[in-house]
Every structure is written in C-alpha cells, then in structure tokens.
C-alpha cells in the first residue's frame, strides 16, 4: 500500500498551518524535518510534546524523521555527529516512528569520492549497527555533492554495509541533477527502495516541477514498485519555490499544486493510496 506523506515545512514554518494544509489534501503523514524554522534535532522537549499532541489531535503520524544526519563532510569528526544521531534515535521512540532519513556525507572540495569510501562505509556501518539494535530503519537519500549521489555509489554503500537496518530513499530529481538517468538508477536499486521522495525535475529548465511534469518518471516508478509489492511512503518534497542544498520551500498554494499532481498521476495509473 502507498501512504502519502510530505515535508510539511515546505508549506510553512508554523506547525498548525503545516498539518492543516496536509489534511486539506488528505495527507495524514509528515516527514518531520522542522517547525518554527528549527531542525527536528534542535527542538526543545516541550516543542516535541506540543507537536506530538498536535499530530494526535488530528489523527496524523510521521513517515520518518527527516534528519540531517550524514550532512557533514566526510573528513569532519564523526563522534559529535554520532551524538546527534542518538537524538534522532530517541525521537523515533518518542514519536513511535522507527524510520530516519539520512545522508552519506559531503565530499570535501578538491577530493574524489572514492578517496573517502572506506570512511563513509565505516560511518554508515556504525550507524546501521546501532539502528538495528534499536529497531530503526535508516533511509539513505541520494543527493548532489554527497558520496551517495549516483546509483552505483548508493548500491555500493548498501552492499558494503549489508544491514537490514539500511535501505534507500529514492529521490529521482536528485539523480537527475547529477546527470544520472532515472531509469538506470531505478533498475539498479528497485529492490533496495523502501521510501520515495516525490520531487520531479526538468533538466532543460533546470528547475523542480510537480510530479509527472519532469523527467523523474515518478508515476511509472511508483506503479512498478507497487506491482512488485512495495508497502511504504511516497513523500512530497516539491521544492517548487526554493531549492537549496539544505532547504526547500513551496508554500501552501504551490503545495496544493504538487499534491494534486501526484494524486492525479497515481489515480491515472490505477495506484491506490492512503
């Protein structure tokens, strides 16, 4: 079954506006990245209590913690970052959501990705071991400038770590931005995908567009995944107004365009969703 979710901070910094806008579009899950302009890992305990209450009052839940874990350079100290990772693990318990979106480290300027492979694998394996012990699944997202920016390197990481606690969050737009053909990435990784980020991209315009309007093959990929038994979340991350390395914004009106585009595309393919 497909479950629709969204990075709701693309709608607004205000959590009430985030959640109420999602409900207008029949979306009941959130990929929790930030509220009040503050990252999920930096919120106070009181803010987390308030947000959890807001979710429960609306009958909503989380698809994953949209953490920034792995968004440091591959040669930066690992131990302080590991402490932040443990915050994310505790939040999984707090929200009863055993999934964390992660990354595979920025490549320092002037160096080649291959020179950092062993260290990236070591770090990913350490996190996966802890996640496995905690009953959490890590969802590795591909992104430009990160070690795992191409499908070959994502697969290499998944194979090298070889943990049931590490899976792939497939982002077609991010593959397109690094010149990776989406069909080739999908054919290589389809069996490792447990999570979709619904972000489309037009390579001619060099901008993000609603699902189905770019070259991300989003309706086709999701249809193929469902046919092979996919049971998970498709998470709207439209980036229709702002698309920066660590920040994306769409706003409530354009978010509506993004939601309708995805829902229409899925219905056209005969894919049911909740």
Residue 97 in domain? yes
Residue 273 in domain? no
pLDDT score of 246 more than 80 = no
Do residues 237 and 262 make contact, with C-beta atoms less than 8 angstroms apart? no
pLDDT score of 242 more than 90 = no
Residue 67 in domain? yes
Residue 154 in domain? yes
* CB neighbour list of residue 2: distance below 8 Å, 6 or more residues apart: 222, 226, 230, 232, 233, 234, 266, 271, 272, 273, 274
CATH number for the domain spanning 143: value is: 3.20.20.150
Residue 207 in domain? yes
Residue 274 in domain? no
Chain centre to alpha carbon of residue 48: 20
Separation of alpha carbons 114 and 96, rounded Å: 37
Range of the domain at 80: 2-268
Predicted confidence band at 229 (pLDDT cuts at 50, 70, 90)? Answer: very high
Q: What is the mean pLDDT of the chain?
A: 95
Residue 131 in domain? yes
Per residue in 256-274, pLDDT (tens digit) is 989 999 999 999 999 999 9
Residue 98 in domain? yes
Domain count, the chain: 1
Separation of alpha carbons 49 and 65, rounded Å: 15
């Amino acid at each position: 079954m497909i479950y629709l979710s969204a990075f709701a901070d693309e709608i607004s910094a205000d959590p009430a506006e985030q959640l109420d806008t999602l409900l207008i579009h029949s979306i009941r899950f959130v990929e929790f990245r930030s509220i009040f302009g503050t990252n999920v890992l930096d919120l106070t305990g009181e803010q987390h209590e308030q947000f959890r209450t807001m979710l429960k009052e609306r009958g909503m839940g989380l698809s994953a913690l949209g953490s920034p874990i792995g968004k440091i350079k591959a040669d930066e100290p690992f131990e302080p970052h590991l402490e932040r990772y443990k915050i994310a693990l505790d939040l999984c318990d707090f929200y009863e959501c055993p999934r964390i979106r992660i990354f595979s480290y920025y490549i320092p300027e002037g160096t080649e990705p291959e020179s950092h492979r062993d260290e990236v694998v070591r770090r990913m394996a350490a996190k996966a071991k802890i996640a496995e012990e905690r009953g959490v699944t890590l969802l590795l997202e591909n992104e430009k400038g990160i070690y795992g920016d191409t499908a070959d390197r994502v697969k290499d990481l998944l194979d090298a770590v070889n943990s049931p606690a590490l899976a792939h969050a497939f982002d077609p737009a991010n593959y397109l931005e690094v010149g990776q053909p989406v069909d080739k990435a999908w054919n290589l990784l389809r069996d490792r995908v447990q999570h979709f980020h619904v972000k489309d991209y037009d390579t001619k315009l060099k901008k993000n567009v609603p699902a189905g309007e770019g070259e991300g093959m989003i309706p086709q990929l999701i249809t193929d995944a469902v046919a092979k038994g996919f049971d998970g979340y498709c998470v709207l991350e439209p980036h229709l107004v702002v698309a920066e390395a660590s920040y994306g914004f769409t706003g409530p009106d354009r978010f509506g365009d993004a939601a309708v585009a995805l829902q229409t595309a899925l219905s056209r393919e005969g894919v049911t969703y909740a």
